[in-house]
Structure 1
């Protein structure tokens, strides 16, 4: 029993000593904080003051409350300053001093600052609600605009440049089609795997090699058609062979397989180009010493070799065949020169003073005298329209046009103003 009493007395004494020690430590820190405050070292004073608070359970001294009020007033922490001011006015004994009047003046300032803060917070809250409402309105309009803009998406993989008649070639998958600058499809990309374009004519070929079907689009007239089957030209042929560039006069030359004649077709009149009566032609060539002989099969003898006269290319130039699928070269009927197929692999139609010439898989140009040229002017022309094709992502495009200073998405006869202007014109 005696031991228990001793332990109890020791415990109470320890609590008293510890409490007294905390109070004294806090007092030291408060004194230091006051000294720093008097030197206008506000930040350091507040730091020391907060250390003192670690040793204080409750504020029971107006001196501590006063310092807390002043420090938080100086640091513009007005709600904390107000809390300390309540403690100060509750604990202060003498309310007749000049210091009390000063603290009262500061308290009024604190309350005014808090009132202004509340007013500002209310204004900010109102502003926030207005901004949130506006953002909801804008987000809603963006969703509406985005939904509308989806209707203007064109599903294609790639696009060529537009020509002067506002027509371009597009690709979808492995097929080619035709489209105008408003997004109207002139020919769907479904059947044709290769394209040849020149002088405002666009040819879509079922296959790049050995094409069996050719679609022609005349961008001048905005009309297209499928060329006659190659079998109608030659029953033994199964494909058009080498297809040359279409020319501005509408003439197209191809070199079908299993044939001793070139395929020469006019894309405007939609007719095969007729050769001069063969007997009359052969007699003229013999008379003018262009050929040595000819026979009833239509063969001509030149320099001791027999050839088939394989059709007129243009400007007096005829194809020469040794037999089916055996193009030998070309005969210039004006001077008798033979252009060897070894160097003059293929000739295209004659127009505007020249032929297309293929030499070692490269394209050149040649005039009617056999002089080679490096370049020629494509009459397809340059695009001068308003449309810009914008790639949204893989396989998706939209057409943009600037109309009266505003960008629009267009498709056919429909148009949608840009998102920013769309939102701006909607009433708030």
Structure 2
């Protein structure tokens, strides 16, 4: 019993001592704060009402309102003279402490509610952003590089389409099994082999059309056998499967080329490329007669006399005849280059008929803002940097990154 009393007495003395030291070290915040904390450890052992009152007033002066209230509560518990002036005055002080604590509690709740509201608003914005982010994804197996005009072939589920650098789909990939791009033009075929429908797109004009129906231009044909590359001079050569008919399309005017054969033959005669020609388009070259089949620019189609069988191609410069057996399919010439396809392989010749390197693809190099990025789920995003900010783009819409989006919309609120 004596031991417990001694322990309690010691704690009371310690609490009083810490309070006394805390007041002495008022101008030394770190020391004072430590001593205040120590005094609170022993507050329940305080038996002196005046010490408790002093502790409360000290903490009130330091604006430690929670601590001030604890010492005040201890004071009211210990003070026996409830009618004293000191007690009554301290009731007023206590009400001030409670008012301040009540206000602080209201402010704390207001802050917590504001934080909760901001979190809810932020979560809502995040949810909206991620939904929009997914809408900006472009589904494709691959997307080719954009040409100088910002158009590219892309493929999905073994079908080809055309898309621009803003994510706008020109042709959906749901019909065409093969896609080709060259010299600023795109070709889409409804079948990879023996197509019956060809869509042609001019990326310089952002305009496309479907080649004339075979039934109209080659009634005996059922499909296209060979399709040459489109050239920058707007010429496209295709070979239907009926005999050796050659079709030349003007991709600017979107129709078959109508050639002035009589004028062409006259020029060939003047250049001494041919020695004679007749009104029925029969021409004489190096002592042999052929049927003239039309111009491919630097080369000319030669048929066996009075037949629809191609013998070969007459080269304008030098007058060589390139036999069909070695040059089965000839394209239209442009800038001294003509495409030849033999056994499904391509090579190129110049205006003399000599093999040369492949020409530069005049589709050009893309210099726009869009970067194509593959997402983790295998889809694609088109990304542009505008005024230093990074945006996802799709059609005419754009979406900034999440941090910028939240900053902009939370700031508005």
2:338 counterpart (350, 355, 361) = 355
Cα distance in 2, alignment partners of residues 274 and 95 from structure 1: 119
- What residue number does 1:366 align with? 349
Alignment partner of 1:375 is 2:358 = yes
Structure 1 window deviating more from structure 2 (273-282 vs 95-104): it is 95-104
Question: CA 1:289–1:397 in 2, change beyond 3 Å: closer, same or farther?
Answer: closer
Q: CA deviation at 1:217?
A: 0.7
Q: CA deviation at 1:172?
A: 2.3
1:198 counterpart (182, 207, 227) = 182
**Structure 1 unaligned spans of 5+:** 1-88, 120-124
Structure 1 window deviating more from structure 2 (133-142 vs 261-270): it is 133-142
2:161 counterpart (177, 181, 190) = 177
Given the two structures, how large is their TM-score scaled by the length of structure 1? Answer: 0.64
State whether residues 290 and 333 of structure 1, in contact with CA within 8 Å, keep that contact through their aligned partners in structure 2: no
- What residue number does 2:230 align with? 246
Q: CA deviation at 1:273?
A: 2.5
For 1:344-423, what aligned pairs fall within 5 Å after superposition? 344-394=327-377, 396-423=379-406
- What residue number does 2:242 align with? 258
- What residue number does 1:140 align with? 124
- What residue number does 1:159 align with? 143
**Structure 2 unaligned spans of 5+:** 19-34, 44-63, 68-107
Question: CA 1:395–1:320 in 2, change beyond 3 Å: closer, same or farther?
Answer: farther
- What residue number does 1:339 align with? 322
Q: What is the aligned length?
A: 335
Cα distance in 1, alignment partners of residues 296 and 123 from structure 2: 65
For 1:268-287, what aligned pairs fall within 5 Å after superposition? 268-277=252-261, 281=265
Structure 1 window deviating more from structure 2 (274-283 vs 415-424): it is 274-283
Question: CA 1:283–1:216 in 2, change beyond 3 Å: closer, same or farther?
Answer: closer
Please say which structure displays the higher CA radius of gyration: 1
1:154-205 CA-to-partner distances (Å, cap 9, x unmatched) read 3333211111111111222222111111122222222211112111111111
For 1:6-405, what aligned pairs fall within 5 Å after superposition? 91-92=3-4, 110-112=38-40, 135-277=119-261, 281=265, 288=272, 290=274, 308-320=291-303, 327-333=310-316, 335-394=318-377, 396-405=379-388
Cα distance in 1, alignment partners of residues 397 and 42 from structure 2: 58
Question: CA 1:209–1:309 in 2, change beyond 3 Å: closer, same or farther?
Answer: farther
Given the two structures, how large is their TM-score scaled by the length of structure 2? Answer: 0.66
1:245-302 CA-to-partner distances (Å, cap 9, x unmatched) read 11111011112111333111111123322344469839976995847x9899866677
Cα distance in 2, alignment partners of residues 101 and 279 from structure 1: 125
State whether residues 158 and 395 of structure 1, in contact with CA within 8 Å, keep that contact through their aligned partners in structure 2: no
Alpha-carbon RMSD across the aligned residues, in angstroms, is 4.3
Matched residue SS, 2:331: strand
